[in-house]
Chains A and B, each alone.
Chain A
Amino acid sequence: NAGVTQTPKFQVLKTGQSMTLQCAQDMNHEYMSWYRQDPGMGLRLIHYSVGAGITDQGEVPNGYNVSRSTTEDFPLRLLSAAPSQTSVYFCASSKLAGAYEQYFGPGTRLTVT
């Protein structure tokens, strides 16, 4: 099993550009989420999904969109990149929503200039 995969590993954007971060899992997990990780601030939840066709906002959703058309895929779209979105982004999945083990992807390091 590949677990949780994320692409790209690194990305540099100019202010105002848009892009999509890809996330896929092959464990048939219902719950998927996107986090950003900034120094000294831990993991902050951007958006999450409890199943295909269902998404909701987390702690820091502004500037990001998600969709969940299949159980496997959960892409994160940056609509108009800003320097404040420079961060490391992690996709995670778990069997269900709640206190289950979170499986994380390897992360995407995004720099917005």
Chain B
Amino acid sequence: TQLLEQSPQFLSIQEGENLTVYCNSSSVFSSLQWYRQEPGEGPVLLVTVVTGGEVKKLKRLTFQFGDARKDSSLHITAAQPGDTGLYLCAGYMDSNYQLIWGAGTKLIIKP
């Protein structure tokens, strides 16, 4: 059982559409990170959120940390083919000093 559940597992949409992916848990995290991984490469950090209710924007990507720090979402506006990749969330719990990883959302943006 994943401590961090990501949904959907797979999403394929047309260029220009909007989308939201989710990262949910029943546990509280002190911070949460979002990474993007392209085929044949390692994950690369997009953003870290640390405060409940925090919203961060990275160009067309909007990240939100839930008020209770148990969930997070990533919203992409006007998706581009360059957004294609595997999106991973990772939560940090002070209690065990480890990052807990979700299984990822595989996103394909078709031109």
Q: Which of A14-22, A69-77, A91-99 contacts B (4 or more CB under 8 A)?
A: A91-99
- Closest B residue to A91 by beta carbon equals B42
Interface 0/1 of A40-71, CB less than 8 Å to B: 11111100100000000010000000000000
- Closest A residue to B93 by beta carbon equals A99
Cross-chain pair count, CB within 8 angstroms:
52
Tell me which of A48, A99, A102 has the highest count of chain B C-beta atoms within 10 A of its own C-beta. Answer: A99
What secondary structure prevails in chain A residues at the interface with B? loop
Q: Residues of A at under 8 Å CB distance from B? A: 4, 40-45, 48, 58, 90, 92, 97-99, 101-102, 104-107
Would you give 14 A-B contacts (Cβ < 8 Å), ordered by A?
A: A40-B103, A42-B101, A42-B103, A44-B101, A45-B98, A90-B43, A92-B42, A99-B50, A101-B33, A102-B35, A104-B41, A104-B43, A106-B41, A106-B42
Besides A40-B9, A102-B35, A104-B44, 18 other A-B contacts (C-beta < 8 A): A41-B103, A42-B102, A43-B88, A45-B98, A48-B98, A58-B98, A97-B97, A98-B92, A99-B48, A99-B99, A101-B33, A101-B48, A102-B33, A102-B45, A104-B43, A106-B40, A106-B41, A107-B41
Q: Residues of B at under 8 Å CB distance from A? A: 2, 9, 30-31, 33, 35, 40-45, 48, 50, 88, 90, 92, 97-99, 101-104
